[in-house]
Amino acid sequence: MEEMRKLRAKRVVIKVGTSTLVYPDGAINLRAIDQLAFVISSMRHHHREVVLVSSGAIGVGLNYMGLKQRPKAIPDQQAIAAIGQAELLSIYKERFAIYEQKIGQLLLTRDIFVYPKSHQNVLNTFEALLAQDVVPIVNENDTVAVDELDHETKFGDNDQLSAIVATNIDADLLIMLSDIDGFYDGNPHTDAKAKLLPHIATVDAQTYALAGGSGSRFGTGGMVTKLKAAERMLKADGQMILANGADPAVIFQILAGEPVGTLFG
């Protein structure tokens, strides 16, 4: 059995995937959102600084509009994201209020981190929110972030966004909650012998060779994007844990040093 982990976790970024927030049939998982609000509020009461990077805008938007499939046209997807983002933040605000925890919203595009002035402005915003005991809830600004623009605005996925945010605000730890228990040496969905790897010290070509494809129909991330995020955290001398977000209370086990999921670093 693996020993208890030693984590640096004064400033933590938590990334939650669509699969945690939205059921496979498209309904919103209010229990998971409530549990997430409870865990993060508890962390704040124990004087940890927490940033939440939340997917789910399109999944929630589809549910709100009564649609079963994501539209194909980019403007239609952006409209769904705008609708879903408002609904998602409304749910978060309601749930966090139960635990007397204030939240704020940051919608980001990649070019914000490229241009020095906007980069400094957004870092100032993060620091001000954290100093005022507010939990920043971050997502990509899907209404303007598209690949077709003449400068790169799109992060590509919230796995990358969470790692970029974490490294820019000097977070100690990135906790990535997904629909898989951690990083395996094979595909656990198709290979019964696939083993969970509890600790990965470095991300290299061999690690990428083990990675599979994307997950749910509502999300965009796959294992490769999670490895890229881990690689970014390791280069910044941070740590990342990939764990199953079906029950967000798993964060308590992670912070206690229990060998849950896969630790990168």
CATH of the domain at 17: 3.40.1160.10
Contacts of 31 (CB under 8 A, 6+ apart): none
> pLDDT of 142-176, one tens digit each?
777 655 444 455 556 789 899 999 999 999 999 99
- Report the binding-site residues for ATP: 15, 178-179, 220-226
Q: Identify which of 170, 172, 156 has the alpha carbon closest to the alpha carbon of residue 225.
A: 156
pLDDT value of position 139: 92
Q: Looking at the domain assignment, is residue 1 inside a domain?
A: no
Per the annotation, binding residues are 15, 55, 142, 158, 178-179, 220-226
Mean of pLDDT values over 30-38:
97
**In this predicted model, what pLDDT tens digit does every residue of 85-123 receive, in sequence order?**
999 999 999 999 999 999 999 999 888 888 889 999 999
Say whether pLDDT at 141 is over 90. no
pTM: 0.91
Please count the structural domains in the chain: 1
Whether residue 15 is contained in a domain is answered as yes
- Would you say residue 71 lies in a domain? yes
* Mean pLDDT of the residues in the chain: 88
pLDDT value for 94: 97
Report pLDDT for 222: 74
Whole domain around residue 78: which residue ranges? 11-264
pLDDT digit string, tens, across residues 181-205:
999 887 777 778 889 999 999 998 8
Residues of each annotated binding site for substrate: 55, 142, 158
